[in-house]
Amino acid sequence: MIRRIAIGVASATLCLSGLIATQAEAATKTVKASGGPVIFSTSVRNAQTCTWKSSPKIAGFGRTVKCKNGIVADTAKFKANTSTAAKSYEITLEVKGKSVVVHQWKVTQAGETPPTTSTSTTTTPVYGIGATQQVHDASKNPLTVTFTQLIDPATGIDQFNQPNSGYRFVAVVINLANPSTAMITSDSYLDVQLVGTDNQAYSTDFSSVTECTNFSSGSFTLLPGGTENGCVLFQVPLGVNVKLVQFSLGYGYLDVAQWNL
């Protein structure tokens, strides 16, 4: 005999002016510290468009698609959380037809397990602003990273590039140099992470500020011997200071450079 076990919260059906949407899965999800893809899905009827959003923003996630009847699904790819603090996300799906229905999922990503206490007398170097460190890509090619400046607060370029209420822009300015014999390309939006004095890890923001440029919408490509300078932007709550900044070409699973403030 096969036993069927239901896991999660019961599905809920919403009906507003002919627009029917049924949440087809649990409204809460968990993600490992190592990150990875998570699928979100719901059943809709009599709909027209479905818009996916996330808060804080997740790189590569968020779009509007046509929808009518059936299951609507999308996948969010969470980068590794290299902080020991857990991260919280909110995923929303706005379904429009004759009326509007909004579905929400709460996502909690675990923090990295702290290393066990060692009795070794070796002192781990502590790096601050201005220090240069080296990381490697998956092919062991080195990349030199210098954290040159912290702009706090940074200023949005116009009225459309402004932080949320209760938050401020903080820009991390870095210089990249490729001493290897291979081309290195990556996305700074995924490579850089900021942790506040509240031990919360903050995701990058895609706005633009007057003080610096965000590479090429976050992306950079360095030929052997090449260098590039740019900044990565964050939204940090007022009253929370920056505790540390991290950089990794492997979204956290390769070696990580860290600067303590």
In sequence order, the 6+-apart residues with CB closer than 8 A to the CB of 25 are 8, 11, 40, 41, 42
User: Looking up tokens 């500020």, which residue turns up?
Assistant: 209
| pTM, rounded to two decimals | 0.55
Percent of the chain with pLDDT over 70: 85
Predicted confidence (pLDDT) per residue in 62-117, tens digit: 899 999 998 898 999 998 888 888 889 999 999 999 899 999 999 999 888 877 66
Predicted confidence (pLDDT) per residue in 182-224, tens digit: 999 999 998 999 999 999 999 899 999 999 999 998 899 999 9
Q: Where in the chain is the domain with CATH 2.60.40.1240?
A: 132-260
Q: For the sheet with 201-202, list strands across it.
A: 201-202, 192-196, 242-247, 257-260
User: Looking up tokens 């919280």, which residue turns up?
Assistant: 88
Q: Where in the chain is the domain with CATH 2.60.40.2550?
A: 13-109
User: Looking up tokens 């956290």, which residue turns up?
Assistant: 252
Q: Which residues of the chain form beta strands (DSSP E)?
A: 13-16, 19-22, 28-31, 36-45, 49-55, 64-66, 70-78, 87-96, 100-109, 132-136, 142-154, 167-177, 184-187, 192-196, 201-202, 204-205, 219-222, 227-237, 242-247, 257-260
Which H or E run includes 190?
A: helix 188-191
Highest CATH level, class, for 13-109 = mainly beta
Q: For the sheet with 49-55, list strands across it.
A: 28-31, 100-109, 87-96, 49-55, 64-66
190 phi and psi angles, rounded to 5 deg: -95, -25
Give the pLDDT confidence score for residue 119 in this predicted structure.
56
CATH code assigned to 132-260: 2.60.40.1240
